[in-house]
Amino acid sequence: MTSRFVHASAPTRPRSVHRFRGLALAAVIAVLLAGCTRADKGNGAAPATTTTVGATTTTADDAAAGDDERCTPARALAADAPERKGGTLPFGGIDRRYLLHLPPQYDGTTRLPVVFDFHGHGSSATVQLFYSRITPVADREGFVVVAPEGQGATPHFTLLGATATEADDVEFTVALLDELIGWLCLDPTRVYATGMSNGGALSSVLACRAADRFAATGAVAALIHLPQCAQRPGPAPFVAMMGTADPVVPYAGGRVNCCGNPNIPATPDTIAGFARSSGCEPDPVTERIGPDVELQRYQGCDDGAAVELYVIEGGGHTWPGSPIDLSGRGLGATTASVDATETMWAFFERHRLVPE
């Protein structure tokens, strides 16, 4: 397998730019979600680093074999440039909005990793950034964050492709990635995705349908394993967090209590599917990393990949590590034993796409 890099002309700016204003704390809580606190980095994560072998395609004009860490000419942005906050991308007949966060390390010359952070069903990009508290981690670690907005009257992401009225959100995500690589100094070998609920499910779908573009993906409170995972050309590192008492997406499988009420398999069966698709050994190694958290780590995966599941015993439909109790809103308990954002990033930074 070899990487294909499509060279393009000088980078262009987004075709239209939209400024976004943050929500006040009370408003964010009112729409469901709240922030996370920082825990010890990589709580429960495997030590050492691993490398994922895969293929990637980029429209960056000066990328070469995935190992060029510099952008020439530089792609710097003024501190007050509206593009720093986000923009819109025409896709599927509508302008799709997204939020963008550049860390202080962004100078337009050094290629930085990028993490997509997808919101839950009925939520928004603003709420997700607040809830996941990913931007302080990005500022500390030096990676770019992209938070796309869903589509529809109740914002959401499609998981099974385009419909008669909605676009394919995997295709939209890849198109947005290409757009951003075209004018920002990003590293196409270090692209990652995570998300909450519907957004976590989309991240798991990217592991099946876009493993050649995403070095690793992670899901919180929802994950699905598509048949395409069995046909993809290589392994895909994947990490998930699920609560055993989730009142929305049942850990044991069955009827989902939202979003059209689909029936889903049990979480252990789903994560085992990801392990099979990455050539891992069939039985995970389990480790107790907290009084209410068990880590199931699949080993022996192809090409240095990894598949991990954090089982939150008694956990609800929440983002692990949040200091705000949402049990009164019917979403169940939130663990303080593991921080989803810190753990996701610790997993991500152990993986990158490397051409054969």
Could you give all domains of the chain from N- to C-terminal order, each with its CATH number?
27-354 (3.40.50.1820)
Q: How confident is the model at residue 234, as a pLDDT? A: 81
> At what angle are helices 169-183 and 198-209 packed, to 10 degrees?
80
Q: Comparing C-alpha atoms, which of 330, 274, 264, 321 is closest to residue 298?
A: 274
Q: Comparing C-alpha atoms, which of 324, 194, 332 is closest to residue 250?
A: 332
At residue 356 the predicted structure's pLDDT band, cuts being 50, 70 and 90, is low
Single-letter amino acid code for the residue at 254: G
Tokens 């008694």 correspond to 314
pLDDT digits (tens, 9 = 90+) for 76-99: 988 888 889 999 999 999 999 999
Residue 142: C-alpha distances to residues 91, 155, 349 (Å):
29, 29, 11
pLDDT digits (tens, 9 = 90+) for 203-248: 999 999 999 999 999 999 999 998 878 778 788 999 999 999 999 9
Q: 233 and 1 in contact (C-beta within 8 Å)?
A: yes
**pTM to 2 decimal places:** 0.83
Q: How confident is the model at residue 190, as a pLDDT? A: 97
Q: How far is CA 17 from the centre of its chain?
A: 23
What is the share, in percent, of the chain residues with pLDDT greater than 90? 69
pLDDT digits (tens, 9 = 90+) for 143-174: 999 999 999 999 999 999 999 999 999 999 99
pLDDT at 15 over 80: no
pLDDT digits (tens, 9 = 90+) for 53-68: 443 333 334 443 344 7
Q: How confident is the model at residue 237, as a pLDDT? A: 97
Q: What is the mean pLDDT of residues 108-133?
A: 96
pLDDT digits (tens, 9 = 90+) for 28-44: 333 333 333 333 334 44
pLDDT at 8 over 70: no
Higher pLDDT, 259 or 255: 255
Q: Comparing C-alpha atoms, which of 205, 195, 41 is closest to residue 128?
A: 195
pLDDT at 13 over 50: no
At residue 194 the predicted structure's pLDDT band, cuts being 50, 70 and 90, is very high
Q: 22 and 121 in contact (C-beta within 8 Å)?
A: no
At residue 328 the predicted structure's pLDDT band, cuts being 50, 70 and 90, is confident
Which residues, in sequence order, are bridge partners of residue 333?
315
pLDDT at 12 over 90: no
pLDDT at 339 over 60: yes
Residue 171: C-alpha distances to residues 25, 130, 153, 185, 323 (Å):
33, 26, 20, 22, 35
38-52, 146-160, 296-310: lowest mean pLDDT where? 38-52
pLDDT at 298 over 70: yes
H or E segment to which residue 189 belongs: strand 186-195
Q: How confident is the model at residue 267, as a pLDDT? A: 97
pLDDT at 130 over 70: yes
